[in-house]
Amino acid sequence: MKSNLKLVSTVDMSHDQWLAYRLNGIGGSEVSAILGLNPYYSSHKLFYQKLGEVDYPAENIHMFWGKEHEDKIAEIWKFHDPNKPDFETTMINRKAGKVVRNNRRVNAYITNPDFNYAFASVDRLINKGDADKEGVLECKTISAFAANVWEAGIPPMYVAQLQYYLMVLDLDYGELATLKDGKYFDVIPFERNNDFIKLIDESCRRFWDLVTRARILKQEGKPFEQLEPEIDNQEAYKLFLTERYNAEAIKVAPAMEYLDLGREYLSVGEDIKELEEKQAEIANRIKAYMKDGDMIDFGAAGKITWKQNKDSVTFDKDKFKSENPGLFDKYIITKPGARVFKVGVKKLEQAVAA
């Protein structure tokens, strides 16, 4: 690693210490939220997490298995030969104990004085002595359900994370080792993209400035919500709003700006319907061409797939209830209802006519 980089050990770091450290910087897994590239994680949620207003999530099943498989993926990677990338060769090398390249764990957060808001927690570093150059090795466990997202290449949210690590560590190269559905191993090399890194740096500096200013206002007991990142149209932002605000029987003042937005919302909905119909028409034309085939491979340009999903197994709730009413009632639980958003305003032309 470069001599200007500093390490903060994570060995024996408690959860409270881990949380305190994360609150004072931006990690690689958080960058995609700032760039608007994460469908599950909005910049608004991250903003309030950094202010201590929203809790970081507890470890879930995906995080658990990701950590459990990380060591195994990094170990198998050592036997992967970039010149013979088929998995059969990897297995032969593993059985023969033939290590092609080495990697090492870094039990620390890595910081760079050029990026005072940033810290990196990489899975592994590719050893410089065993390859052309030192690089980042990131290990990902991908479920069968999520595997289709990877068909067209690395999802943008992970591209952002990988480029962020190259930025912080001042490296030019990395590899992404993936294990899909517990059995399909793949290694994807990636190079530094300076244009993207410039965008990452600029976006993160803006975001961190908002957080820093909001913290000062919060400490002074002043409102800071006006410093939230700009509202976008992501599904992640919608999820954040649902989590943060509970509906109450309160009428909000009818500002005309939001009547106009309501009408615009309906207009956009009509455009979306037309586009979805057009999209369905295009999909049907491609499917008619593919017939029984499941893939059109365009090489480096990508691919189109039409694959058969696995058969699903569902529970016949109504039949079980009719045959076991007492047992059914025993396991009934009440879940809070979701907030439903509806726009029932009249279009401008309808309002004028009325």
In the chain, % helix, strand, coil (3-state, to 5) comes to: 45, 15, 40
User: What is the C-alpha to C-alpha distance for residues 22 and 15, in angstroms, rounded to an integer?
Assistant: 11
- 3-state DSSP call for residue 115? strand
Question: Which CATH number among 1.10.260.40, 1.20.1250.20, 3.60.10.10, 3.90.320.10 corresponds to the domain 6-200?
Answer: 3.90.320.10
User: What is the C-alpha to C-alpha distance for residues 186 and 281, in angstroms, rounded to an integer?
Assistant: 34
10 Å CB burial of residue 122 (0-12, 13-18, 19+) is buried
User: What is the C-alpha to C-alpha distance for residues 124 and 101, in angstroms, rounded to an integer?
Assistant: 13
pLDDT value for 34: 93
User: What is the C-alpha to C-alpha distance for residues 213 and 217, in angstroms, rounded to an integer?
Assistant: 7
Averaged pLDDT, groups of 10, the chain, 354 residues long: 90 88 94 88 91 83 82 95 92 95 94 96 83 84 70 80 96 93 89 93 96 95 90 61 56 78 86 89 87 87 84 77 80 64 70 56
Residue type, 331: Y
- How many residues appear in the chain? 354
Domain boundaries, the chain: 6-200, 256-353
> Among 144, 176, 149, which residue's Cα sits nearest to residue 160?
176
In the chain, beta strands by DSSP E: 6-9, 103-104, 108-112, 115-120, 124-126, 135-142, 173-180, 184-191, 295-297, 303-305
User: What is the C-alpha to C-alpha distance for residues 336 and 216, in angstroms, rounded to an integer?
Assistant: 36
Q: Are 213 and 174 in contact (CB under 8 A)?
A: no
User: What is the C-alpha to C-alpha distance for residues 54 and 57, in angstroms, rounded to an integer?
Assistant: 9
pLDDT value for 254: 76
User: What is the C-alpha to C-alpha distance for residues 73 and 94, in angstroms, rounded to an integer?
Assistant: 12
Q: Are 50 and 34 in contact (CB under 8 A)?
A: no
